[in-house]
A and B are shown apart, each in its own frame.
Chain A
């Protein structure tokens, strides 16, 4: 799958309270959650996102609570993928399980806010169209690739029981 979008750059340790504040956890609806994505730390974030845009962040993205509402809010506001230097473990599995595309890349620092990226998810290739460079990310483990390929954990389960 090829994804294309403009970069919204974030820092290190973006936590799930940053991504979706607890006061909105009374909803389980992705589009409703999406309206408040990153509101506490970037009040204008949602209004600046166009469908398909990409979040690029530093280390430990998604640390904190287990709320799956966080990857849902990111999906719900139109973000197509997240690239970070590292992901917190629960966010990592939530993203896999609900099918939010993401890549771990040590080159995340080199990507600037507003850059245009083209991502080849299966190949783990990030093309920075603005800087005219390509970054290769390590491939996902086979087990996880399979869950992603089936469209998330519950679909994978249906085919593997």
Chain B
């Protein structure tokens, strides 16, 4: 196997692999690696469980390193979804899966898993869900795979990987008010396109990232897949460590590993396939227009877009700080008459915080609905499906044709501040106009 010289020039993903396995890896190489966590949901895990059974295996490799979350169609939207959820519940019981989260404990997986302290900097995580790249915000190499990959991991805890080259994104300047992680990632996807980082790892850095709160970082890493990337990594720093320590203190019992590589950094002379530098000091809130996440425009160019529905939630922007921003704008205001405002906290913990802080009341008094955690409308599952001709502004991550319902409906993507402001006016609106 080829090795690098002493001044190894390793990017973050190569370096974490080197520290762990004492082996150098090169972009393009195929490797087999042991994973720290493997996760599935009510859509993808049933297929994985089917494959696991067909393989003749009887016991999973490690009942603490598998996470099962019924979140997409749960609470079950219909009989067939109930059947899928039951497959997860039965398998979890049979295999004594420690981290199975039933409705009531459940949340949207990519908000829930970091919150429960199940992922730590440096971990290698696979998930049969494309937004598994979210934990890159904690410095994990985490990536989406398919159900058969998950089945294989159930059997022996391993997965095959094609080592990606890394593209570095440096964000300079201080962000304007109402601009956050969602805007940085939408702006970036707008620049490089939906295959701009195909098969690559994205590494996000620069002053604007370093000052970004954790919830915003999750939003950035979450949408790396929307540029085709295998991972969206932010090197751990004090903000990461503070977050990790806090969740680990709360969840002593479930934490199976603790921040092993808190000093993990890319080498100063790390080799990148490309480096993009953006001055984001003048960036205004960004909106992705139908029907691709790369069809991005500044919010001020979309004043004439009339909307029927606003969704605030999802694994991208259903966290407590997202709800706080939305509530700040909606406090004492009403959603436009005839517009449907749907607010979905991503986890039970966030739900409870929103209730305690009075955010839930603000949403309800504004004429919105405040839902139990679910992926629901983001993927056109339930809780806010669009009919023909309808337009939705959502804080979610995809706006493909028919994503939220009818193939003749339209989805725009934005940050929670823009979504809240637009709910009031019924048009896509800059929050400063409220």
Q: How far is the CB of B264 from chain A (nearest CB, A)?
A: 23
Does A93 touch B at the CB level, under 8 Å?
A: yes
Complexed CA–CA distance, A66 and B407 (Å): 20
In the assembly, what is the distance between CA of A37 and CA of B324, in Å? 40
- Is the C-beta of A116 less than 8 angstroms from some C-beta in chain B? no
Interface residues of B in 73-101 (CB under 8 A from A): 73, 78, 80-81, 83-84
Q: How far is the CA of A120 from the CA of B382 in the complex (A)?
A: 43
Neighbour of B194 across the interface among A13, A27, A28, A141, CB < 8 A? A13
Task: A41 to B291: give the CA distance in the assembly, Å.
Answer: 12
Contact, CB under 8 Å: A17 / B402: yes
Residues of B within 8 A of A22 (CB): 43, 72, 379-381, 403
Tell which of A15, A23, A41, A154 touches B152, judged by Cβ atoms closer than 8 Å: A154
Contact yes or no, A66 B55, CB < 8 A: no
CB < 8 Å neighbour of A66 from B44, B151, B198, B402? B44
Chain B residues near A41 (CB-CB < 8 A):
401-402, 407
In the complex, which residue of chain A has the Cβ closest to the Cβ of B385? Answer: A23
Query: Taking the complex as formed, is B302 at the interface, i.e. its CB lies under 8 A from any CB of chain A?
Result: no
**Which residues on the B side are within 8 Å of A64 (C-beta)?**
130, 398, 400
Q: In whole angstroms, what is the CA distance A63 to B293 when docked?
A: 11
Interface residue? B230 (CB, 8 A)? yes
Q: Which residue of B lies closest to A13 (CB)?
A: B194
A17/B43 contact (C-beta < 8 A), A65-B379, A66-B144 known: no
Contacts of B30 in A (CB 8 A): 141, 143-144
- Name the CB-closest residue of B to A143: B30
| Contact call B129/A66, Cβ cutoff below 8 A | yes
Decide yes or no whether A90 CB sits under 8 A from chain B.
yes
**Complex CA distance for A158 and B56, rounded to whole angstroms:** 9
| Complex contact B144–A154 (CB within 8 A) | no
Structural contact, B195 and A90, CB atoms closer than 8 A: no
Q: Which residues of B contact A13 (CB under 8 A)?
A: 194-195, 292
Interface pair B381/A28, CB less than 8 Å apart: no
Min CB distance A22 to B, Å, is 4
Residue on B nearest A90 in the bound complex, by CB = B144
Given A64-B130, A67-B44, A97 contacting B148 (CB threshold 8 A): yes
Mark contacts of B29-58 with chain A using CB atoms, 8 A cut-off: 1 yes-contact digit, 0 otherwise.
010000000000001101100110011100
Asked if B267 is at the interface of the complex by the 8 Å CB criterion, the answer is no
B148 touches A89 (CB 8 A): no
Other contacts beyond A18-B400, A86-B195, A88-B198: 4, CB < 8 A = A13-B194, A65-B130, A144-B30, A153-B160
6 closest cross-chain pairs (CB), A and B: A26-B80, A94-B146, A60-B195, A40-B402, A97-B148, A40-B407
